[in-house]
Every structure is written in structure tokens, then in C-alpha cells.
Chain A
Amino acid sequence: MGVALSILDHMERVGDVEWVLAPHDGMLVAGRIYADVESIGQLRGEAADPKGWSALRQLKNVASLPGIVAPALALPDVHPGYGFPIGGVGAFDLDSGVVVVGGVGFDINCGVRLLRTPLHRGDVAPDIDRIAADLYRAVPAGLGSKGALCLSTKEIDRVLREGAPYVVRLGNGIGSDLEYTEENGHVDGAEPDAVSALAKQRQFQQVGTLGSGNHYLEVQIVEEILEPKAARAFGLTATQVVVSVHTGSRALGHQIGQDSLREMASACEKYGIRIPDQEMVCAPVRSPEGQRYLAAVACGANCAFANRQAITHLVRTSLARSCGIAPETIQTVYDIGHNHVRIEAHEIGGVVRRLLVHRKGSTRAFGPGRSDVPPAYRQVGHPTLVGGTMGTASYVMHGTSAGMGLAFGSGIHGAGRALSRNQAIKQFRSDAILSDLAAKGIRLLAHDQRGIAEEAPGAYKDVDSVVRAAVAAGINVPVARLRPLAVIKG
């Protein structure tokens, strides 16, 4: 019996949307998967092909790493990544555990910022083409784009050390942007000396650029309020115009990731860590290599917060100009990352422990009462932002108290891909997608015309069913459904 068969033999359904991968073959803990039957079918299909990429095998690999303290988790948007599965969460002991490059990825602290406006559908619908065109011009995007902020070496170091607050101090934002950004837009422990000169050089012209691929900027309408109390706290009302910005740490994060893979491969050998696959290269948390990586990742995280802050300023200026509203009436609802590793306090077996939590393609979703949730949101938990696809809904959700125990306070981050880019190109045509979107009243402005098919709505799982699974699992609660009016892609 091959590996592919044996892994499926260890899967057991333990709830409506909960499955356990029992420890076997070197796993130190179980794997726990929150997903609907359809997604499980997809996971099984991948795993049955021993030559294919399998999110389930990646989950098994995470559960095999030293110092993992509780089941490795896969959330409902799970699909194969590299290292961790996307939609994966893994928590490690600070003394005996490891930090894993593949648990963060190349796009460090990639995430979404949601802005609310005082506008409603009727205020923008007649003028949406002009509004979208202005945003398209205002926000640099696509390969080779340059940001409005051209920084010196010293300034780059301040971005890395200080994050979004530095960008606000330069005049690109308002104080409440920081209040409603995860970690106030700045994570501790950032050490610019842990980042290579090359990584910094690659970033000089990229602060305030959107990037490409699945990164986007969307003008959206709040289509439906699903949880009124939380929606009130988040300042969201039906038909309101909001803007979502999805981007990350750009070239700086990419180079940190690339540098770190090589350093961690050496560290693995140096410390004699037996990893289940080369993609899982890691270092002990307490080792110099592990500490250096964490210091570099904190820089990448700060850079991503700074980038979304710089783009927020561009969006605010553009929208205020094209819609004739005061810039400060465009406010940050929340900014949340979905590729990161952080030290957090969690209760395990009745004991509160400080753990190193990796979230790859998953967000924090801290429930009510936590001190790290902004006071205005503390009764409900902070918002989580779930990106849809170009043609479908996005969701604002929040975490739950139960989710703190079930999933280290984690949430889904998007629909999750169902088809590879290769398959998507074969199945979809860009012009057909554009006309489908137009028929739904959605404008698409893309710097990258060839990539439209790769990001076809049909290449993703149904975001509604992913959200339903997260709700059924008890980890996230939907607050509002957003529908795109205009999509700007890199």
C-alpha cells in the first residue's frame, strides 16, 4: 500500500465539517481539517495521486515538525501551497519548536485592508467608470510599477522597523488608520540588519505598489448585513460603498523569503532536524538562525502594513477627489494579514502558553474580550476580511470565543483556488470573463490582460460555501457580504 492510500486511511470524520488526520508515519500530533464534504473530496482526490501536490500531505508534514503543540489545522479554504498548505495554521512551543519559512511564504504579511466611505450605491453607480479609472491611475500596479514613495536606505530601514506609523508620519494617512490596523501597523522585534541589502534595494521603488497576480483593489457595495450588532461596531450599513485593498510586502518580502530558505536549509542540517520534505526547511525558534528569521519576518510584516497604508492614502485621495467628499471620511475598518508568524498567548489544556503561531493563507480571528482587539470592536471580536474572486462576494467576518480554542483564533482568508492556473487558462477566456463581469455590472481594469483567465471566478472555490463551513465549524461569524462594483488588478 502506497503513501497516498495510507494517508486517506487515517482520515476520520468527527463532525459535520470536522475531520481528523490521525497521527501516523512520523506525525507528532494529529491534523484537523475544517471543511465541507466537497472540499474533503478535493483533498482526497489530490492525495490519491502520489505524484500530485496534496494539501493533506502538507498538513501531515506540518504535524511532523518538532515542537508542534496541538493539531496542525486546515481551514475551509485549504488548498496546496508550498511548505504549509494554504489555509494552514500551526502552533509551536517557543523552546522546543521550530519556525518554518513555508509557514509564512514569500509574500510576508500579505493581507487585506477594508476602507468604509460615507457613500452609498446611488452616489457612485452613475459615475463608477470615472471613479474606477481615477483609482486605476492613482494606484501603481502590475509588473515593474513604481510607488509614489521613493525611499533612501535610511527611510527603508525606518519602514522596516516602524511599519505603517512611519508612513502616516510622512503624511500618508490619519491616526485612526493605525488604531484599526492589526498590531497598530507595527510588529515588534523587527531588525533591519537581519534583512539583506539586496532585499532593501529591491523595495526602494515598491512601497505603495499593489503588485500583480491575485492582488487587487475593489470598490464594493455592502450587499447584505448578516450580523447587525457587529456591523454597527464596524461602521458598516447596507448599500454602503467600501474599498478593499489586497497586497503584501512586495519585493522585500520575496527576497527575505528567498534568502531565508537557503539559511534555513543550512540550519536544518546544522541542528540535525529531520524534516519530512525539503519544502519544510526550518530552524529552532531559539536558535540564532530562527531568531534572525523572525526579526526579518517582522521587517517584512511592517513593510506590508506600510504598503497598505501608502495605498490607503492614494485611494483616499483619489476617491475624495472623484466623489467630492472629505478625505478623512474614508476610514479604515480593519487591516489584517494572512501570511505571518507571531508569538501569541493561547490556552492549551487549561494552561495559558506563549506560542509561535504560523498562519499561511489564514488570518487571526480573535474573539470578543481580547485586549489586542481594538476597544470599539472588543465586544464582538475584530473583523476578518475574506476575499472573494473578481465576480463574487467578499465577506467581513469576526472571530468567536470558541474559535480561540478550536483554531488558535484563526479565520479563513479567501475562497481558495479550486483549479490550477494552468487549468484555468485552458478553461476560461479573458474576453468571456470580461463580458460576464460586465453583465453583472462589474468593471474590471487590469494592468495584466493575459492573467485575467488565471484569476477567473470559476478557478476558485465557491466563497459562500467556504464561509458556511467556517461558520459551521464555529470559528468565524459572517457580518456583511460585499459585492464588487469595480475591480482593479495588477
Chain B
Amino acid sequence: MPFVYLDHAADLAIRAWGSNIGEAFAEAALAMFSKMVRTDRVEPRIPRDYTLQADSLRGLLVAWLAALLVPKDLESLVFSRFDVDVRAIELGFELRGRALGETLDPERHEPSGEVKGITYLGLDVRKAAGVWYAEFVADV
């Protein structure tokens, strides 16, 4: 599992990684949803597409994760699969991503807790020894 939950007293701290930035961002999203639902039981049937820009990779990570939280309130959609591509643009970075999931079914998805937002605490996107890491703390 290319993510771990770190110890934070009150909130949810996550370190995710992958062989490129997109993979690390996808794993970060999976880690976040795995806190809220049994993602192994969420069928990746309904797609939602995202194009996001930010002037830093950290800002892009927050924008991506925050955007994914919206459909649970608007459409009761939760996600379990993520495909992400990140590239440099003139004024920063652009993400093109697809999230796949389905309508929340409490019986099957066993919801647990709710991510309220993505904080700037410990926020980091970095490459080390050929691996991209995405770290963040979510308020739960």
C-alpha cells in the first residue's frame, strides 16, 4: 500500500508515494477516501474529471484533494480509483485527473469519519531517491 497514516493527535496525517507526481497524488487521494469509506468496496463506475492549476506542487495537492471532497456533499459520491497527470506550465503546474467511484451506500461502504479540509500543516511534495512523496494533514 503506497501510503501510510502518520501520528497526529487530533487530525489525519498521510504520507503517500509513487514513481511520479501523478501516482503520489492518486495514492494521496486513495488514502484520504480510505479514511472515510471502505474503498475496496467502492465500485469505480462513475467518473468525475478535474483540471486544476496552482503555482506550486503543494498548492496543487491541496486543490486536488479539496476538489475531491466536494461531490460527497453535492452528489453523495465517494471515490476509490484515481488517475492523475501533473505537468509544469508557464506559471506553475497543472493537474488533469479522473476520480472514479459511486454513490455512497452506508451499508456496504461502512463510512467512518469525514475529512473536513486539507490543512497546510506539514504539507509537502518532494522527490527523494527517485520516489515522489505527497504529505498532508487533513482535519477530520
Contact = CB atoms under 8 A, between A and B. Distances in A.
A169 interface: no
A279 interface: yes
Interface of A: 52-53, 55, 79-83, 86, 102, 105-107, 142-144, 198, 201-203, 205-206, 211-213, 251, 253-255, 257-258, 261-262, 265, 277-279, 281, 417-423, 447-451, 454, 490
Nearest to A212: B114
Nearest to B66: A258
Interface of B: 5-13, 36-37, 58-59, 62-63, 66, 69-70, 72-74, 76, 78, 104, 106, 110-114, 116-123, 137, 139-140
B78 to A, nearest CB: 8
A418 B10 CA distance: 9
A418 B113 CA distance: 19
A279 B122 CA distance: 8
A143 B104 contact: yes
27 contacts: A52-B7, A53-B7, A53-B9, A80-B8, A82-B119, A102-B119, A106-B117, A142-B111, A144-B72, A144-B76, A144-B106, A144-B111, A201-B74, A212-B112, A213-B114, A261-B119, A262-B62, A265-B120, A278-B120, A279-B119, A279-B122, A279-B123, A281-B120, A417-B9, A418-B9, A421-B12, A423-B7
B113 A213 contact: yes
Contacts of B117: 106, 254-255, 257-258, 261
Nearest to A256: B117
Given A105-B139, A107-B139, A261-B62, A86 B113 contact: no
B10 A86 contact: yes
* Those 8 A-B pairs whose CB atoms lie nearest each other, nearest first: A143-B111, A82-B121, A450-B112, A106-B117, A82-B119, A420-B7, A202-B73, A106-B116
Given A258-B66, A277-B121, A420-B7, 16 more contacts: A52-B7, A82-B119, A102-B121, A107-B139, A143-B36, A143-B113, A198-B70, A201-B73, A202-B70, A255-B117, A257-B139, A448-B112, A449-B110, A450-B112, A451-B113, A490-B114
Contacts of B112: 143, 212, 448-451
Contacts of A418: 9
Nearest to A248: B116
B140 to A, nearest CB: 5
A425 to B, nearest CB: 9
Contacts of B104: 143-144
B113 A80 contact: no
A262 B59 contact: yes
A83 B121 contact: yes
Contacts of B106: 142-144, 447
Contacts of A448: 111-113
A251 B139 contact: no
A453 B12 CA distance: 15
A66 B9 CA distance: 27
Contact of A80 (B9, B12, B36): B9
A235 to B, nearest CB: 33
Contacts of A254: 69, 116-117, 139
A320 B106 CA distance: 29
